[in-house]
Amino acid sequence: RYEPLLIEKRSETVEIDDAPLPEELTRDELTMAAPAEPELARHYTRLSQETYGVDSGPFPLGSCTMKYNPALLERVASDENAAVHPDRPDESVQGTLEVMATLQEWLGRIGGMDAVTLQPPAGAAGEYTGLLITRAYHEQRGEDRTEVVVPDSAHGTNFASAAMAGFDVVELPSGDDGRVNLEALEAAVGEETAALMLTNPNTLGLFERDIETVTEVVHDAGGLVYYDGANLNALLGQARPGDMGFDVMHYNVHKTFATPHGGGGPGAGPVGVREDLAPYLPAPHVRETDGGTYERYEPAHSIGKVHGFEGNWLVLLKAYAYIRRLGDEGLADASAKAVLNANYLAERIDFEVPYGPFHHEFVASAGDRDAADVAKHMLDHGVHPPTTKWPELVEEALMVEPTEAESRETLDLLVAAFDAAGDADADALESAPHRTTASRIDQVAAARSPRLSWRALDDGGSRTDP
Residue list 331-390, contact with other proteins (CB under 8 A): 331-334, 336-337, 339-341, 343-344, 347-348, 357, 359, 375-376, 379, 384-385, 387, 390
Interface of this chain with a second copy, residues 52 to 81, rule: CB under 8 A: 54-57, 68, 70-71
Q: Which does 121 bind (CB under 5 to 8 A by kind): other proteins, a second copy, none?
A: other proteins
- Residue 298 CA to residue 414 CA, distance in Å, equals 49
Angle subtended at Cα 77 by Cα 75 and Cα 81, rounded to the nearest 5 degrees: 110
Query: Does 244 sit near other proteins (CB under 8 A)?
Result: yes
Judged by CB, which is closer to a second copy: 27, or 463? 463
Q: In sequence order, what are the beta bridge partners of 400?
A: 61, 362
Which region among 219-227, 256-264, 362-370, 393-401 touches other proteins (by CB under 8 A)?
256-264
Residue closer to other proteins by CB (options 168, 191) is: 168
Torsions phi, psi of 449, nearest 5? Answer: -125, 85
Nearest distance in Å: CB 45, a second copy: 5
Q: Which residue in 376, 347, 375 sits closest to 362, CA to CA? A: 347
Q: Concatenated DSSP letters for 322-350?
A: HHHHHHHHHHHHHHHHHHHHHHHHHHHSS
71/456 with CB nearer a second copy: 71
Site mask for other proteins (CB under 8 A), range 113-142, x = bound: --------xxxxx-xx---x----------
β-sheet bridge partners, residue 379: none
Cα R_g (the chain), whole angstroms:
24
Select from 237, 356, 382, 433 the one that contacts a second copy (CB under 8 A).
382
Please say whether the beta carbons of 147 and 192 come within 8 A: yes
- By CB under 8 A, what part of segment 19-58 binds a second copy? 36-39, 41-42, 45-46, 49, 54-57
* Distance, CA of 439 to CA of 447 (rounded, Å): 17
Taking each helix axis as running N to C, give the angle between helix 408-423 and helix 313-348, from 0 to 180 degrees, rounded to the nearest 10.
60
First vs last Cα of the chain: how many Å apart?
Answer: 9
Query: How many Å apart are CA 310 and CA 318, to the nearest integer?
Result: 15
Q: Which does 292 bind (CB under 5 to 8 A by kind): a second copy, other proteins, none?
A: none
- Which one, 291 or 453, has the nearer CB to other proteins? 453
Residues 22-61 binding other proteins (CB under 8 A) are: 22, 24-27, 30-41, 43-56, 59, 61
Site for a second copy in 392-451 (CB under 8 A): 405-407, 409
Nearest to 297 by CA among 84, 126, 85, 101: 101
Cα(244)–Cα(225) distance, integer angstroms: 10
Among 2, 289, 297, 426, binds other proteins (CB under 8 A): 2
Pattern 171-190, other proteins, x by CB under 8 A: --------------------
Q: Which residues bind a second copy (CB under 8 A)?
A: 1, 9-10, 36-39, 41-42, 45-46, 49, 54-57, 68, 70-71, 382, 405-407, 409
